[in-house]
Structure 1
Amino acid sequence: MNPTRFRLAVCYATIAACVPYLTLKIAWLAGSTVGWNDLEAAKDSTLYVGNAITMGMDAIAVVVALAFTYPWGRRIPAWIVAAPIWIATGLLAPIVLGVPFGVLLQFLSGQAQQSGQGGEGLQGWVYAVVYTGFTLQGLGLLTAFVFYARDRWGRLFRLRTADLPNGPGLAIQRFLTLGAIAPAAVYASVHLYWAFGGESETVTQHTVDAVWGLLSLAGVAGLLALVRRAKRPGPVWIPLTAAWTGAGATFAWSFYMGLVTLAKPAAFDTHTSAAEAMTMVCGVFAGLIMAVAGTLFLRETMGGRARATGQIASPMASSTP
């Protein structure tokens, strides 16, 4: 089936939103210092590696948007599609949810705009271009993914928690979910503390910290609802969305910030406190544990026999829909 005009519009709007970021990265890799205040910092060799990696990530977003839109994308093995969109959801969801609202609150509060004074040597317009692009990418990719998921795994959207099978893997899913609570609680607590004035310098950063903390808690809550079979059964996709997004955000940002800290490019102020290091480690572990529990849940659910709906074929278990 050919994609609808709306899906095509979403796809190419998402690709267009990637262009400014890709253009900046290509320019910097070519030696340009456009957008930099600190010209010496712009030439730091470590930044070339970081720019190449992040440019590659944005290029993958273009391919993923196309795969979500055209029929050939449904023939790709499920894990190849799921892995990058899970990471993308984790990286982009806090920006989509936190940055626009945070910027609005910062404007209303009368706080001087400090986005261009973050100690990274970049001019203010770079932040505006990059984060506007990220927000549009996030909205576009997530919209395209919803259409794709409904096409490929539509039965999952019709399932209710009362229909879920109590298979042999349920015990390990519950064990992993319980194991994720402690590191997720630490991660969320620290970010919520920062959100209310502990560390962050701007209202926007306060808001994003709050979103990080709340998403981590939402991830655990979503998994608990899935593996404990809520007494008031509802659609599976609601807690599954919370678990997917919360786990992705907790893992992806913790892992990314850990890499930035280890790289320690001269252009960045990477002095890391013990609390920050602990938070990153807790986030990586919490996100990974939630991801494993969620993967086991999906494999068993989509491959098992639901009590109310009968046999459900498993598109996740094969490389074809």
Structure 2
Amino acid sequence: MTATALSAPPSAMPRPGRVRALRRAVCFTTIAACAPYLALKIAWLCGSTVGWKVPADAEGSALYVANAITLGLDAVAVVVASAFTYRWGLRLPAWLVLPPIWIGTGLLVPIALAAPIALSVEAASGPAATDTGSSLYGWVYLMVYGGFTLQAVGLTAAFVFYARERWSEVFRIRTAELPTGPTRPLQTALAGTGTVLAVVYAAAQLYWAFGGTLGQDGERTGPSVAVSAVWAVLALAGAGGLLTMVHRLGGGPLWRPLGIAWVGAGSLFAQSLYLLLVAIGRPGGMGEDATAASACVFLAGVLGGLLLGVTGMMRLAERAAPNGPARRPQSASPTASSAP
């Protein structure tokens, strides 16, 4: 692969100027996708009832706090998109960069995947099948979830550009070349436990998607069924991607199972945490049978996603171990040795 790249004609190599222009275009598009949601949240926090069918439903301290939190999350998306585009983002520590984009993709990618399915189900079933008596007008959902879909695409693309520049070796090695370090037994145990929890979560979501009512205290609609199915598939895919990395299965490039594990584990953790907080915050807390049962499922998802994420981090941290794949030695020429 290296020889092919070195022998490629200059016209076949991507030009840095074009790459920078593309990255800026992705950044500006992502920020533009955040703007309508930010404007709507600011309006609601300032007392506006735009988008509400019943203005009285827009009142309440809990709703105010929820709007403030979601406003902050979307503002973070703007900062993250900028950090992935401009040089100052490369100077940020990894622990400050990776958690926000992991959680962000975990929340947004399922929306981008489920939105077309939900719209198709709604179009085929008619408005009667999806009318849940919402207090918001339909255009609010279209604007919000359409923006979330664009944000998912934009943030994912921006992060790929950023990761290829900052951790380029991850895109060059193959899964079978990952080293076996001293934490291998711990990784195997954590990955196995996380996989079991992911399977429990996925099974519950599929049970609800196919009409199960245990743990559900509301009517299931076509779009909600599609969302449950997407969450289940992503949870199983994330566990499979991580197991592929831990056990070095297959000879393909590392970025494939890594990307699947990243999105799947992020979705499992972030969505479960959000749903768990919603279940706890409902009237009656976790005392109701339906809410308590669903909260147990979401707790399994939080723990499973966290275990898969931690295991993946450990797996990547050992990629530069002494018994790992040999690195290309640096030139011993005087020019190279005297370079700053």
**TM exceeding 0.5:** yes
In structure 2, the partner of 1:254 is 272
Q: Does residue 1:205 correspond to 2:219, yes or no? A: no
Residues 1-321 of structure 1 aligned to structure 2 (within 5 Å): 4-107=20-123, 109-112=124-127, 117-198=131-212, 201-230=220-249, 232-264=250-282, 272-301=290-319, 303-305=320-322, 307-310=324-327
User: What is the CA distance between 1:120 and its match in structure 2?
Assistant: 4.4
Distance 1:206 1:155 in 2: 40
Cα 1:8–1:157 change in 2 (3 A) is same
Cα 1:52–1:311 change in 2 (3 A) is farther
User: What is the CA distance between 1:101 and its match in structure 2?
Assistant: 2.4
Cα 1:202–1:311 change in 2 (3 A) is farther
Cα 1:311–1:127 change in 2 (3 A) is same
Deviations 1:113-168 (A, max 9, x none): 666x4454111111111000000000000011110000100110111122111110
Distance 1:23 1:36 in 2: 15
RMSD: 2.2
Deviations 1:2-36 (A, max 9, x none): 76211111100000000110011000000111111
Structure 1 residues 287-296 or 85-94, which shifts more? Answer: 287-296
SS in structure 1 opposite 2:50?
A: coil
Q: TM-score, normalised by structure 1?
A: 0.89
Contact 1:95 1:135 in 2 (8 A): yes
In structure 2, the partner of 1:319 is none
Distance 2:122 2:161 in 1: 34
Contact 2:279 2:294 in 1 (8 A): no
Code of the residue aligned with 1:221 in structure 2: it is G
Cα 1:175–1:184 change in 2 (3 A) is same
User: What is the CA distance between 1:224 and its match in structure 2?
Assistant: 0.7
Question: Which segments of 5 or more consecutive residues in structure 1 lack a partner in the other structure?
Answer: 313-321
Taking every aligned residue pair, what percent have the same amino acid on both sides? 50
SS in structure 2 opposite 1:36?
A: coil
Structure 1 residues 191-200 or 254-263, which shifts more? Answer: 191-200
Distance 1:31 1:65 in 2: 29
Deviations 1:71-90 (A, max 9, x none): 11111001111010000010
Code of the residue aligned with 1:111 in structure 2: it is G
Contact 1:69 1:148 in 2 (8 A): yes
Code of the residue aligned with 2:263 in structure 1: it is T
Structure 1 residues 137-146 or 30-39, which shifts more? Answer: 30-39
Task: Answer 1 or 2: higher relative contact order, Cα 8 Å, separation at least 6.
Answer: 1
SS in structure 2 opposite 1:35?
A: coil
Code of the residue aligned with 2:102 in structure 1: it is W
Question: Which segments of 5 or more consecutive residues in structure 2 lack a partner in the other structure?
Answer: 1-15, 214-218, 330-340
User: What is the CA distance between 1:209 and its match in structure 2?
Assistant: 0.8
Distance 1:205 1:226 in 2: 32
User: What is the CA distance between 1:306 and its match in structure 2?
Assistant: 5.8
Structure 1 residues 159-168 or 12-21, which shifts more? Answer: 159-168
Cα 1:135–1:311 change in 2 (3 A) is same
Contact 1:304 1:311 in 2 (8 A): no
User: What is the CA distance between 1:241 and its match in structure 2?
Assistant: 1.0
Q: Name the larger-Rg structure.
A: 2
User: What is the CA distance between 1:264 and its match in structure 2?
Assistant: 3.0
Deviations 1:243-269 (A, max 9, x none): 111111011011111222333379xxx
Distance 1:64 1:212 in 2: 24
